[in-house]
């Protein structure tokens, strides 16, 4: 009897390997606890970074004023000043700047916490596909911010100084205030940094199969219209700002089309490879079934004559 039980255990088929997403399935309460843990980590990290950023806000504001001071020197305004006219105005500016510094410095950690929360619900291929974009997003944001800092903002200040003139009754001079200058600089840095994420958005949509390169090429002219409208909304109300943002966005849209084409080609190759493997597997199974049938027919006992 014991031997029979052992044989029965041996004959039991092995359990099929569980799906990797199904294997990571957890009750709703576990997900809520995990979400709370991630949010608490993000909040604590942000508070710590904000406290640290407060001690460097003056240096950050001074860094933002470098394009202004360089433009002032170019226009013979060596002693140009930036003023604030309202009580506590500079304090609120420093608080806003500290908030943005903490957000920018902590973004990689915040993005990782979000990724770590959703990663168990993704397949391995999906996880490996998302990770490169997490590294590219800060780089593209820095590229957009660098374009503003070294090119767009100096052009704005040069234009402001160039419009000064000496009239018969009075002189008209550019006297910048801290708050308008800060809001202009931050809005441009943020708008260009976010706008430079366009290739990431297009690539993710192409990765998900929502868009294709052929469709993007057909709707290119409509995309350009949308780009100009978005640029007009995101930038200060002047034609120069619209053009200076729209041109890089159009180039980035073309980069997104190229990325979508590359992703589509890679998906097509993968589908062809999967189809080839499935065909080979079916051929091997058919050959194995044929061999088993031939073996069974050869091993079958011959029936006596007359039966």
- Quick one: pLDDT at residue 43? 94
The kind and range of the H/E element at 42 are helix 28-54
- Quick one: pLDDT at residue 17? 44
Q: Please list the helix, strand and coil fractions of the chain in percent, rounded to the nearest 5, in that order.
A: 80, 0, 20
Nearest C-alpha neighbor of 220 from the set 267, 264, 254 = 254
- Bridge partners for 165 per DSSP: 172
Q: DSSP per residue over 68-132, as a string?
A: HHHHHHHTT-TT---B--STTHHHHHHHHHHHHHHHHHHHHHHHHHHHHHHGGGS-HHHHHHHHH
- Quick one: pLDDT at residue 265? 86
User: pLDDT tens digits for 174-197?
Assistant: 778 888 888 888 888 888 888 888
Q: Name the pLDDT band for 12 (thresholds 50, 70, 90).
A: very low
Full-model pTM: 0.69
What is the share, in percent, of the chain residues with pLDDT greater than 90?
A: 5
Lowest mean pLDDT among 8-22, 174-188, 288-302: 8-22
- Quick one: pLDDT at residue 16? 43
Q: Is the pLDDT of residue 74 over 90?
A: no
């Amino acid at each position: 009897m014991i031997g029979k039980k052992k044989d029965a255990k041996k004959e039991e088929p092995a359990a099929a390997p569980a799906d990797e997403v199904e294997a990571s399935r957890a009750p709703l309460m576990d997900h809520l606890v995990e979400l709370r843990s991630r949010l608490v980590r993000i909040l604590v990290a942000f508070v710590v970074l904000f406290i640290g950023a407060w001690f460097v806000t003056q240096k950050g504001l001074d860094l933002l004023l470098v394009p202004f001071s360089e433009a002032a020197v170019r226009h013979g305004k060596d002693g140009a000043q930036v003023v604030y006219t309202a009580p506590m105005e500079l304090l609120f500016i420093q608080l806003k700047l500290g908030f943005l510094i903490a957000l920018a410095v902590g973004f990689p950690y915040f993005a990782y916490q979000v990724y770590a929360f959703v990663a168990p619900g993704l397949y391995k291929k999906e996880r490996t596909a998302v990770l490169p974009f997490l590294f590219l997003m800060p780089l593209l944001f820095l590229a957009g911010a660098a374009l503003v800092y070294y090119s767009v903002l100096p052009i704005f200040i040069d234009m402001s100084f160039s419009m000064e003139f000496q009239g018969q009754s009075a002189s008209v001079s550019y006297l910048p205030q801290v708050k308008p200058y800060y809001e202009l600089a931050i809005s441009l840095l943020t708008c260009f940094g976010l706008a430079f994420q366009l290739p990431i958005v297009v690539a993710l949509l192409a990765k998900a199969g929502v868009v294709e390169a052929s469709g993007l090429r057909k709707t290119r002219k409509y995309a350009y219209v949308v780009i100009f409208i978005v640029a007009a909304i995101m930038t200060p109300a002047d034609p120069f700002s619209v053009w200076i943002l729209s041109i890089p966005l159009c180039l980035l849209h073309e980069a997104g089309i190229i990325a979508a084409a590359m992703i589509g080609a890679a998906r097509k190759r993968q589908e062809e490879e999967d189809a080839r493997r499935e065909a080979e597997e079916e051929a091997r199974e058919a050959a194995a079934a044929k061999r088993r049938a031939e073996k069974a027919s050869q091993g079958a006992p011959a029936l006596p004559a007359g039966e």
